[in-house]
Amino acid sequence: MVDKKTILIHSKVSWARKSALAIIGLFFVMTLAVWSYYFYKKKELYQKTQERMVSIAKNRSERILDHVKKYTIQGQLRAAEPFLIEEMARLRDVKPEEVSSPATIKKEQKLITFLEEKSTELTFNNTIIITPDGLVVFAHSDKNYSGKNVSQLPYSGYALGESFMRAKMSLTTDISDFDFDPLLNRPVLFVTIPILHNEKLLGMLVQRVPREPIYAIGDDYIGLGSTGDITLTDEVEDGLVFLSRIRTENTQPLKRFIALDKTSDYLFPVQLASQGDRGQGLTMDFLQDTVFAAWRYVPKVNWGIVTKITEKEVLGQLNHIRLLGFGVLILFILILLIVSFYLGWFGPLLRSVNFYLHVWWIRTILFLFLLITIVWIAYSFMNQWNINLEQFKTLGAKKVQYAAENIDYYLHNSEITVANLAYDLGANRINKYDLLPRIKREFSEHADLQGIMIAYQPYEYSKEKKLYAPFFKRTKNNDVEIRYIDESYDYTQEQLSVNEAIWAHAGWYRKALENKEITIFEPYQDPELYDQLIIKIAVPFYNPADKEKQHPMGVVAYLFNSNSITKIVEQISLGDTGFAYLLAKDGRFMVYPIKNFINDQRTGQELAGELGSPSLLRMTNEALSGKSGFGFYDDKTFQQRMWAYYSPVSSTGWPLILIFSQQELKLPPLIYRHYWIWLLVLVGIGLFFLIWIGMKYAFITSNILYFFILIESALLLAFFIIIRASPIIRQPEKAITILDQVHLRQFVNERDRYARHIDEREPVEVPCGIYLYSLNFSKPTQASVSGYVWLKYPDTLAKELMKEPQFPQVIGGTNLQKSYETHEKGFTIMGWQFTFDLAQSFDFVTYPFDTLNFVIELEHPDLSQHIVFVPAFEDYRDLRPEKLPGIHPGLTVTGFGMKKSYFSFFKESGESNFGLQSFQNTPDRYYLGYTLILQRYLFYELIVFVLPLFIVLLLLYALSWVAEKEWLPIMILSGYTGLLFSTILLHRTLRARFMTGDVLYLEYLFFMIYLTIVLLVLYLVHQVYFKGRVSYISKAFRMYKTYFWPIQLMILFIITALIFYNP
Amino acid sequence: MFLSKWWLYIIAGSLVALSLILLSVVQLREKKVDPINVGVLFSLTGPIALTEKPLIDATLLAIDEINRNGGLLGRAINPIVVDGKSDTEQFKKEAIKLIQKDKVAAIFGVWRSSTRKALKDILEKNDSMLFYPADDEGLEESPNIVYMGSMPNQTVLPAISWAMTNLGKKFFIVGSEDLFPIVLHEIIKFHLQSMGGEIVGVELVKTEDQIPPIVEKIVASAPSVIVNVLQASMNIPFFKNLRQAGITAEKIPSMSFNLTEIELKELEVPFMVGDYASWTYFQTINTPENRAFVKDLKKKYGKSSVVNAIMESAYANVYIWSRAVQDAQSIQVPSLKKHLALQVFNAPGDVVYLDEKEQHAWRTAFIGRILYNGQFEIVWSSKKQIQPLIYPPYQTREYWDDFVRKTLKKLVSHGG
């Protein structure tokens, strides 16, 4: 029989179980509901955000079009005004010199009065009136244009000039480019309207469209949150120019440019929009942010518009739901645990888990799974290099082939140009007297064309007889100069004397005749044509009736400079170090970042010899023999492995070679470290599993604790070695490290190209060198330094220019003494001796495993001059960073080892324009920095701090066990207190050394000791007051003591992993 | 027992459920969706097949590309290619068949203006859409036609202006006796008068035997430029006669508005070397997009294929239509019409877009000089798209409508 009490207990238990189940069920449903709601809202939010982006893009592009349309209609209405037509008829024949004459001014006054009367309905002050010949006869606010002829250079190349010509030629209202106008010194957008009357073109009425409303449209971030932006871009030759400012940058319109890689498989939304595409979606923008974006093309003005908002911000709206989700999930787990514990579910649960884990095959499977994971991570770690190599190879091949195709296309077009004149000469369509106008036309249409040589009738052809042979040369003033080759030398001869061969480069005549078709000659430097590298294309001409090409009538040769080809090659880049060069068939450099290589007629083989690389020599020879390939060579100068992809230009066989450093293939130190950390963690777990399996087979029988301690210690030690071996060097944002002349030229060329795109002056380079004699870290944020600095000012710079360096970080002890000034090779060289204290921003968080980068920033004091200091590489013997260029061999820094030194360019923050408008106009402004990487000596720090801390920990451990045997609480407590006191003293010493707001890595060891002391004291108190009656506390503390070292090591391991995973 | 029966039930049930899900996914993927029929109406036979056949190639290339990228609204585009046999009546017959029987969503086709005009009523009556690729004389608008070719103000007027600046001010105009050349003559006359140019002769040609006396007149009047609006087949006899009379491109260059790479490929090129033409596209345009387009076309239709401006327009037409369909999410003409305005496409030559009011395209103009290899060397470009003007600005709309009416009447009375 069951008694009432039992029934009551059972009913209570049953009720409790039901309630517990209900609570668990409730929380389970709540967790499911919250997360379902989160994912539903996320999907909805994604969709709504995309729709919003599309709608904003559409709205802003309509507003832009409405704005332009308003001025177009206003202008068209004004152009139809009878008074204006009458005035235009009068002004149409004004001559340039009469523009400012009293009569014209009087006429203009009438116009002004007329326009002012209309000012309430029309924006009269933006009007320009131009005669059909292009003369600006009226410009109310844009006065600089008055009297200028916009159909003539340079104005014909400006937005207004181009718009005028289009409108005049098509008699159609034209919307100009939105472009920077050098005459008005600001960005402009015009609408040009032809004025017609009585079937006659009277002139053009130009309406300047105010740009501020356009900027306002671009700045209208309503609906775009705090990270959203609207970009308006215009496609230019090799990139995009931003027409409105970028929200995250303080950039003026038309002063931001991004170069675009045509070989890239990925196109940014700004690029897609500008080239006429449209779309929306979650994508990556040009700032490398993941954004929701909508992009479209704005017709008529031909801009691309992109509206975007970061994914982070969008998802931020759901943060509260996500937090709630996590909260409910944690609560659910907690309740599950508590209820399980309370209702005794825990035991069976653990038993069942224990049971399954003890089933040998499950254990083995888990171990094997772990092993496979370790092997897989290790394989992907090793393979990452191969993947990178494959990626670089594919990309490099693509870039080289694309450039080679472009060069081919250019040469093909040039050949056709030459053949076309040859055809006309052969068909007698041009005679000797018609030739000059045609030659002038050729020069005006082909900017690269520098000369034309023709050997042709009226003399009858004879291989040994000189023909009448004019040489047309483009002069520096773009005029045509005629000389006669036949008077200079006998070009029909096979061999020529050295003097004769100067610009003839023997064989052009004979070889073309022998080939009977278009022949491209090897490039050569032509002193006749201002030492330019010349590519000569020659073709014999025949009468069209002479189908067999039996009777040549002469030869025509065009001499092109290599500017277009240079431009194609210079645009090739790969990663941070990749650059390309082009060789002629005889190995001479045609394009190379260092121009002297071309001028000095150096060859690829010579370069290979200088670098001491037989592999490069082999690859160069292979490339010269017309083969494509991929390989590596060892650069003896920089002691690094370089990779090269080479492929010939198919029409000429000129090898195009792309070089990049093996450094590019290496994993970034942080990723490298991540791989190692995961491997370590998994190996650790794997070892535990192994012990476990070993226990099953009884070959591990002794105290398992030792194994745990051993494994953890080994892991920790391995961890420290990895941290030490892969230091993370913190570089300022967008710092570009420049290690040699090639990369310097590449960087400078890129900056020059940027400057041209945004209509800014190209920066003036001043080579700068630095040499340090002493360095001392007087304070944690300060360094005392002394040494030499020298600058090489080109003679082309103004004499009154301030000539000295500026060290913006100087905070004290300034002493800059000029040591020497001399003049060499077109440069004024000035040297200074300096001693001062520099502000530094060191990061000590990872102490004692920290790596410091000491930086000296150098700027020209006159920021308005746009002078950039560049490393004077030629003044150093060894440029390898490991060889510490710029450091005196006797220099030592207490407590640190010097690892590397190099030059970098740092980007200006752009926070301020220093009061100079022009400074702000150039967003990507760089200044020179000299960096010295220092790594802390560990030994000293280990002795001073780490060792005492471990001894304290050991003493605590010992005391805790002693306390079990010798029960004198007060003595034990005194022992704990003494250890605490020593730890605090040590901690204070550490803090005094590093006055930083951050918590140092080593401090966590202190915290561990504090916590241990607190726990041991609590245990002591429990033992004294409760006599160990609370069994589970006793049990827990015993457990803690037993596993003291594994726990401490584990905590230390976790802290180390967390801090050093992403330092 | 290794597994309890409940476990077996659960596993079996899961397998059945999984199979059902997979089956339905596969079925859904394989579900037949009707393709979208579109008409491709050009001449495969007859005298103008030479010009129109390549337009079919370009249209089909664009359709192929869209189909390869997943089709339109999840459906494939099915081109129904029909032969207009170079005959306006046949064109009308085929257009009606395409609209009424094949229920095509749109027709891509027609090259001649007169054929387009003949189809206009049929299209408007049936509310069907024609995407017309060729240049036209303007002076016409229809809600059922998209005009992708250029208007006279986009290519002809800039070319005449350029010729006046670069070649000379005396012009001799010669063209076939058809609506397009006659309207162009009229527009050019006004333009030259307005710009201070001089017309030294205007001649219309119907038959080849009329050419020698015209050439004599050209020699006698010694113009600076010959404006050529002759139909393709007339170009050989005309240029042959010119050269025989000693007139080379160096002496008196011509500016043609009907001569493209296609005609030059078929004709004897050397006669025209050095002469000029104005179009919205040339095969030699050096952009990555155009290089890819030419490469794709050659890959599909053979290495000797060439591309001209009308082919490029035919190609762009398909994309413009597909984008409007995407926006409308429908192939129905009323919905489509609402989404045509300012529709943009990055065509091989340059970006093209339709005007917001009329369904004519904003196009970039190019002037090219004929090279000895049958291609054009671009000597001038407008760099930006020019707005299409249906009615040239010199006269009123009424004047031009009246002019077209009279011209058509005259052509009919002349048996044209």
The verdict on A420 touching B (C-beta cutoff 8 Å) is: yes
Q: Distances in Å between the alpha carbon of B43 and those of A718, B83, B128, B261, B297? A: 79, 5, 20, 18, 20
Distance from CA of A738 to the nearest CA of B (A): 32
State the amino acid at position A826 in one-letter form: G
Average pLDDT, chain A: 83
Contact check, Cβ <8 Å, B384/A201: no
Backbone φ, ψ for residue A642 (5° rounding): -115, 150
Residues of chain A with C-beta less than 8 angstroms from the C-beta of B353: 276, 297, 299
Reported as a pLDDT band with limits 50, 70 and 90, residue A968 is confident
Please tell me the least confidently modeled range out of A114-118, A281-285, A508-512, A943-947.
A114-118
Q: Tokens standing for B200?
A: 């030294």
Query: CA–CA separation, A147 vs A950, rounded Å?
Result: 87
Exposed e or buried b per residue across A231-266, where buried means at least 16 C-beta atoms within 10 angstroms of its C-beta? bbbbbbeebbbbbbbbbeeebbbbbbbbebbebeee
Residues of chain B with C-beta less than 8 angstroms from the C-beta of A172: 153-154, 157, 386-387, 389, 393
Contact check, Cβ <8 Å, B344/A276: yes
The verdict on A423 touching B (C-beta cutoff 8 Å) is: yes
Q: What is the pLDDT of residues A235-272, one digit of tens each?
A: 887 788 888 888 887 677 787 888 877 777 788 999 99
Please tell me the least confidently modeled range out of A39-53, A116-130, A465-479, B204-218.
A116-130
Distance from CA of B158 to the nearest CA of A (A): 4
- Asked if residue A142 lies in contact with residue A206, where contact means CB atoms within 8 angstroms, the answer is no
Residue A308 contacts by C-beta under 8 Å, 6 or more apart in sequence? A53, A224, A228, A229, A231, A269, A285, A291, A292, A293, A294
Residue of chain A whose alpha carbon sits nearest to that of B354? A299
Residue of chain A whose alpha carbon sits nearest to that of B156? A170
B116 closest CA partner among B130, B99, B97:
B130
A1021: Cα within 13 Å, side-chain hemisphere: 7
The rounded percent of chain A whose pLDDT value lies above 90 is: 29
- A993 burial via Cβ count (<10 Å: 0-12, 13-18, 19+): middle
Contact check, Cβ <8 Å, A417/B377: yes
In the three-class reduction of DSSP (H, G, I as helix; E, B as strand; rest coil), residue A928 is classed as strand
Distance from CA of B100 to the nearest CA of A (A): 34
Interface test with A, best of B239, B272, B273, B390 (most A CBs within 10 A): B273
Q: What is the pLDDT of residues A809-841, one digit of tens each?
A: 888 877 888 888 998 888 889 999 999 999 888
A64 closest CA partner among A167, A164, A211:
A211
Contact check, Cβ <8 Å, A166/B386: yes
A295 closest CA partner among A241, A246, A230, A248:
A230
* Chain A (898-917) residues lying within 8 Å, Cβ to Cβ, of chain B: none
For chain A, the 3-state helix, strand and coil shares in percent, each to the nearest 5, are 45, 25, 30
- B243 burial via Cβ count (<10 Å: 0-12, 13-18, 19+): middle
Residue of chain B whose alpha carbon sits nearest to that of A272? B346
Q: What is the pLDDT of residues A940-949, one digit of tens each?
A: 888 888 899 9
Distance from CA of A393 to the nearest CA of B (A): 22
Contact check, Cβ <8 Å, B250/A417: no
Contact check, Cβ <8 Å, A172/B386: yes
ipTM score of complex: 0.89
Residue of chain A whose alpha carbon sits nearest to that of B194? A200
Residues of chain A with C-beta less than 8 angstroms from the C-beta of B156: none
Residues of chain A with C-beta less than 8 angstroms from the C-beta of B384: 162, 166, 174-175, 177, 302
Residues of chain A with C-beta less than 8 angstroms from the C-beta of B363: none
Q: What is the pLDDT of residues B277-310, one digit of tens each?
A: 999 999 999 888 898 999 999 998 888 889 999 9
Query: CA–CA separation, A384 vs B175, rounded Å?
Result: 68
Interface test with B, best of A151, A156, A168, A169 (most B CBs within 10 A): A169
Task: Count other Cβ atoms within 10 Å, centred on residue B311.
Answer: 28
- Among the partner-chain residues B153, B273, B379, the one whose CB lies closest to the CB of A170 is B153
Query: CA–CA separation, A569 vs A564, rounded Å?
Result: 9
Q: Tokens standing for A324?
A: 């709630």
A1050 closest CA partner among A719, A733, A773:
A719
Contact check, Cβ <8 Å, B274/A429: yes
Torsion of CA A472, A476, A477, A479, to 10 degrees: 0
B164 closest CA partner among A164, A169, A198:
A169
Residues of chain A with C-beta less than 8 angstroms from the C-beta of B365: 170
Residues of chain A with C-beta less than 8 angstroms from the C-beta of B286: 409, 413
Q: To 10 degrees, what angle do helices A969-993 and A1003-1026 make?
A: 160
Q: What is the pLDDT of residues A602-649, one digit of tens each?
A: 999 999 988 888 899 999 999 999 999 999 998 876 677 889 999 999
* Chain A (427-446) residues lying within 8 Å, Cβ to Cβ, of chain B: 427, 429-430, 434, 438, 445
- Asked if residue A472 lies in contact with residue A480, where contact means CB atoms within 8 angstroms, the answer is yes
Exposed e or buried b per residue across A530-548, where buried means at least 16 C-beta atoms within 10 angstroms of its C-beta? eebbbbbbbbbbbeeeeee
- Asked if residue A579 lies in contact with residue A658, where contact means CB atoms within 8 angstroms, the answer is yes
- Asked if residue A812 lies in contact with residue A836, where contact means CB atoms within 8 angstroms, the answer is yes
Whether A655 shows a pLDDT value over 50: the answer reads yes
Residues of chain B with C-beta less than 8 angstroms from the C-beta of A263: none
The verdict on A721 touching B (C-beta cutoff 8 Å) is: no
pLDDT for the residue numbered A116: 64
Across A185-199, A332-346, A452-466, the highest mean pLDDT is recorded for: A185-199
Whether A506 shows a pLDDT value over 90: the answer reads no
Residue of chain A whose alpha carbon sits nearest to that of B351? A276
Please tell me the least confidently modeled range out of A583-592, A764-773, B73-82, B234-243.
B234-243
| Pairs across A and B, CB distance < 8 A | 120
* Chain A (386-415) residues lying within 8 Å, Cβ to Cβ, of chain B: 405, 409, 413
Contact check, Cβ <8 Å, A302/B384: yes
Whether A104 shows a pLDDT value over 80: the answer reads no
Whether A843 shows a pLDDT value over 70: the answer reads yes
Interface test with B, best of A133, A158, A171 (most B CBs within 10 A): A171
- Among the partner-chain residues A199, A277, A296, the one whose CB lies closest to the CB of B190 is A199
Average pLDDT over residues A341-370: 71
Would you say how long chain B is, in residues?
416
The verdict on A199 touching B (C-beta cutoff 8 Å) is: yes
Answer with the residue of higher pLDDT: A100 or A33: A33
Residue of chain B whose alpha carbon sits nearest to that of A58? B342
The verdict on A157 touching B (C-beta cutoff 8 Å) is: no
Q: Quickly list H helices, A427-451.
A: 435-445
Question: ω into residue A154 within 30 of 0, thus cis?
Answer: yes
Contact check, Cβ <8 Å, A174/B344: no
Question: ω into residue A458 within 30 of 0, thus cis?
Answer: yes
Q: What is the pLDDT of residues A661-710, one digit of tens each?
A: 888 887 777 788 888 888 888 888 877 777 766 666 655 555 666 777 78
- Among the partner-chain residues A169, A174, A544, the one whose CB lies closest to the CB of B270 is A544
Interface test with B, best of A172, A238, A438, A440 (most B CBs within 10 A): A172
Q: What is the pLDDT of residues A377-436, one digit of tens each?
A: 888 888 888 888 888 889 999 999 999 999 999 999 999 999 989 988 888 877 777 788
- Among the partner-chain residues A262, A299, A429, the one whose CB lies closest to the CB of B342 is A299
The verdict on A275 touching B (C-beta cutoff 8 Å) is: yes
Distance from CA of B182 to the nearest CA of A (A): 19
Element (H, E) at B187: helix B179-195
Residue of chain A whose alpha carbon sits nearest to that of B373? A416
Task: Count other Cβ atoms within 10 Å, centred on residue A971.
Answer: 13
Distance from CA of A323 to the nearest CA of B (A): 34
Residue of chain B whose alpha carbon sits nearest to that of A414? B377
Contact check, Cβ <8 Å, A166/B162: no
A252 closest CA partner among A224, A218, A285:
A218
* Ramachandran assignment for A626, one of left (phi > 0), alpha (psi -120 to 50 degrees), beta (any other): left
The verdict on A263 touching B (C-beta cutoff 8 Å) is: no
Low-confidence ranges of chain B (pLDDT < 50): 1-3, 416
